[in-house]
A and B are shown apart, each in its own frame.
Chain A
């Protein structure tokens, strides 16, 4: 090994050989970075830095040549360094060209060149080849071929360089351009696959990633090979090349900063570095600035990506001379403006768009209908015609009709939208869309910028419609196929995040914009209404599904109320699917779908059957009315605790009164009030704290006092207050006294001083009512688990008699049924009672064994018995 590695003085001497020390070199680099602003003219920095490296490399080369005797060689810079684009910590790639016979004498020379440079901390690599080797390898190795394209003479034998390049261009680069393009396309897609991981969308690799600097070079290489020019901009429209140049500038600026800040060859734009770079580049402090910088970044890489794909396409598909000669065979006119050739769509007359701008939209319709791409000249004509898209175009019914029909067809609509966006048409046609272009979220969840996310959402709906997810998500698949006009849903998916370009709540802002856009497109109010609703509430379904208790009827009821109808519910579920799926490959999981599906199905049942749901309650209206009679503080205490079903049953005066009752049961265990009507009937209101079996205890106490129950309304508030109303009857006109006694008995029972069973036994012989002879009613019990998502419904028909309600409720309670809601009705001597029950776990009673048993016992009890024998406790 050479000695200077272990001897510092020697190393110092060697470094000094080049006239600079390691630290001195770093200082020089920083000086360049300071004098040449790295962000206003990044290329100037790259050039000056490269010039500096040239000086050092030349010096090392000359020193080495003077120290060892070696054959004549030529020193070249290749790769990025060859282009004189040297970022602060880029590799310095060198090539030594020699004449073929003298190979053995080279290694000492190479060592002498490299070691001092390495000791300065430079990443230098050097290969030595003869001219023939170079050409041979360039033919077989894509990487060597491309690195040679950018070769630059540095020092030594110029003749070697001239020879190599003459041969390389003529024999290799300008030949088989199509194969070259194919190889590069393969290379590009392979490289992108490596960076496909969503994390790279958030923290992109500026060199290797999609639309990164390497992609641009590929485009340039092809131009070099195909058009034999190094001026890549010469084959583009001036506008196009200017915006591309700006994109490159941004990438270079960022890359310089990446290297300078991290002190090494750092090409991943990590969150940490995004945060540091954005203020240096003059973006606002904090998240907003970072998001804006990343938006610019994504727009830049998008432009570069479009550029390279466009160039690759041209190289790969441009017809050969032979084909051109027979082209008339393949040409076909579509209409007076467009034709097809070689499987591409092209414009017949270049001034068509100027004369008749709506043809721009027709072009895309043809592309969809005939499933063909447009040729690149037509694409350029579209870009040139963008200024003709004005308000007249945007409001033209012809244009809008075509646009909507593209969406309505739902085939490759996303692809068409993507093309429109790429060519800049979409943002001209829907200017609001320009605001979300490249817009990113500074977080880990949202992988794509808003514009690509929105188009992806459309694509996911399309995939769903095509049946791509039929196996995994059969429900969603059948839902999208049920839709009458999927175009509206597709348009909504495209616009659902349009509010993200605005300040504040993006759903709300988006809803306003969508109303404006919809009106401009001439959509009917019937179509606009669901769009505005969907955009406004596009997050609510997932919020409820993931964060609320779906076993809670109120949750479903409120959601149903918000969604209004089944049609909107279906669209919301589909949009929620598309939205999450388009966030990133890992955002949508089967887990999430299970929750969303459950919410969908439960809510759908409400719309299809009504369930237990009463007519929707205008909650706010009732609460407002309550203000007239109650202290606002009390209202706010109770407002959330009153269930909708309760609110729907009582007037605001009654509710106000009930609240007052509820407040006083804090002190007293029980409150009973009644109003007697027509001497024999009374409406009884009972207010107490809910407890297990309460209903049965109340009906039992009524039975004790020979009060016949005609109707009952039972409600439990969220705070556990039970508020029940009974309509009772007493044939003996002694109702007042009986009610007094009922109140006393119930109090005794509830306070635990006596059990209902004891009281019943005591008075069982004092039956004062004689049975009349009347037609019999056969008993019937139906147990229904279909009509409600949350309750088992027990429907009982029986002959009315005193105490029957008590008996039924007791059986239910004994079987672990918690009664949530009851509807008691008496029709002559027939009672039809409906109970909504759950088991003690709050679940429906679904096991057949259990329901059968319950049914049997209930049926037995319905048949009148000679005497009331309360169940034996054993």
Chain B
């Protein structure tokens, strides 16, 4: 855990407590010192602070029900499993209200994590406040922070959800490799269609 990173990030705490800015996180912003309660599929509470990695931190807003998540999921899991062993803290977070999407409830998430061999936490954002703090709007949506806790990549997994063999730009992997090399990713913002996050009501 990188205490110093989180202490640096406390400047953003008021924004978290008072609601994220409408524009969400921008490249260069500190990882939010989110107070949101995350409940991992192993049944334990998991503060975001415990996920922060020595060399970087990857937060992916994900879920069970979304066809776009399903299309990317094998690649997403492979990335999380691989870079989680390289000093990058990795977590997938589900901020959807399970009343809207029953497939996004904890038992179904636990089953998915087991079936897909998630070696990193897959956690319920129990108030959806983490999504608000990040300004996350869709799934899957990745936020990658460097070793100093600054956002260096935001966006999609790669440029072809439907066909892994036709990927031309592996945006997230490239960004992770850059972070591990101590460099800024060449491409820092990407977009793809995704499923709208439906948060719990405040």
Say whether A and B bind each other: no
